[in-house]
Amino acid sequence: MRVISRIGITMGDPAGIGPEVICKALAAMPDDERAATLVIGDRVFMERAARLVGAGDIFAGVGGVRLVEVDAPNRDAILPGVLSADAGEAACRCVRKAVEMAQAHEIDVIVTASLNKAALRAAGYPHNGHTGLLAHLTGARRSYAVLACPQLTVIHVSTHVAVGKAPESCRLERILDTIRAGHAHMLSAGVAHPRIAVAGLNPHCGEGGLYGSEDDEQVAPAVAAARAEGMDVTGPVPGDIVFMLAVDGKYDLVVAQFHDQGHIPAKLIGRHETVNVTAGLPILRTSVDHGTAFDIAWKGIADPRNMQAAIAMARTMRPMG
């Protein structure tokens, strides 16, 4: 398997912990990995973060990490831990530049530090975070949130929608598309023959309509269609056992129907090792699975382990095309 060698890390929201966890991760890297890594962000914020965490002149001189400079708007108005449209715009500019570089094959994979969804909206972007923003920037028809750790990988049919509206998203075609995207993602992650389980939407998969008909009418036909396309898919499998079965080694990937169904087990089991990946894009992207943590931002105490896990996963993924 070819190993990714060129990684571009986006700064994230400069009012949050992104710059400092990036600098901590860079400082802990072996020299050869650091040489194959660049950062896309505002120089003032990144150098400030490097000084804060004791990483020194990590962006300067021979052996320094290449910094692709993307200036933040109204830099002096962006304050630690304070939500603002300027910070949201800065984060989006970094993502836009990273996408341009990935599309030009200047980098193989994007690793994103966290942005703030409210800041994103305040800056005028109507997207549901990185997943929607990246789909918009790449022209992808749809994108899918994947959470992955050594013990478990989960892809989601629906994510940032109210739980009461989630069933509206869990329709046959969307479920089938999610299975396809999950299958392609597992191939890019080096799994030659992915074994996929599709979680039921309702308790006990509806028990023949007693607790809802969606599993019989939407989930089961999607599974049948995926199997007809040659994929190794099982389902619907009750949501209260499917993740245990996957962790025990029966499945390589679980298709979760809604946000918390998949996020809770993935984050509980993987903890700091759980990485966010966007499937369905024409480029590769991994990310931390935490937020901007405004309450501890710019205090030098943010834990870099999740950023390190996102970078480590990026290095194992197969390039697109």
**What pLDDT does residue 224 have?**
98
Instruction: Using the structure block, give the residue that is written with the tokens 């320094």.
Output: 64
Nearest CA-CA partner of 182 in 314, 58, 280: 280
* Prediction pTM value: 0.85
Torsion of CA 312, 315, 318, 321, to 10 degrees: 130
Torsion of CA 96, 99, 105, 108, to 10 degrees: 130
Give per-residue pLDDT as tens, 33-62.
998 999 999 999 999 999 999 998 999 876
What is the rounded CA–CA span in Å between residue 18 and residue 16? 6
State the CB neighbour count (10 A cutoff) for residue 137: 19
* CATH number, domain 1-143+281-321: 3.40.718.10
For the cut 60, the answer to whether the pLDDT of residue 3 exceeds it is: no
Instruction: Using the structure block, give the residue that is written with the tokens 């105490």.
Output: 301
What does residue 35 show for φ and ψ, rounded to 5 degrees?
Answer: -70, -25
Domain spanning 144-271: which CATH class is it, in words?
Answer: alpha beta
- Answer for the pair 138, 239: CB distance below 8 angstroms, yes or no: no
Position 64 confidence tier, pLDDT thresholds 50, 70, 90: confident
**What pLDDT does residue 1 have?**
41
Can you tell me the mean pLDDT for 273-301? 92
**What pLDDT does residue 192 have?**
93
The token pair that represents 120 in the structure block? 């994103």
Check if 1-143+281-321 and 144-271 are the same fold. Answer: yes
The token pair that represents 94 in the structure block? 């970094």
Q: What angle do CA 231, 232, 237 make, to 5 degrees?
A: 120
Instruction: Using the structure block, give the residue that is written with the tokens 């942005």.
Output: 115
**What pLDDT does residue 37 have?**
95
Q: How would you list the strands of the sheet with 37-41, edge to edge?
A: 66-69, 37-41, 7-10, 109-112, 284-287, 275-279, 144-149, 152-156, 253-256, 195-199, 232-237
Give per-residue pLDDT as tens, 129-185.
888 899 899 999 888 989 999 899 999 999 878 888 888 889 999 999 999 999 999
Give kind and range of the element (H or E) at residue 191. none
What is the rounded CA–CA span in Å between residue 68 and residue 39? 6
What is the rounded CA–CA span in Å between residue 282 and residue 198? 24
What does residue 212 show for φ and ψ, rounded to 5 degrees?
Answer: 125, 150
**Domain map (residue ranges) of the chain:** 1-143+281-321, 144-271
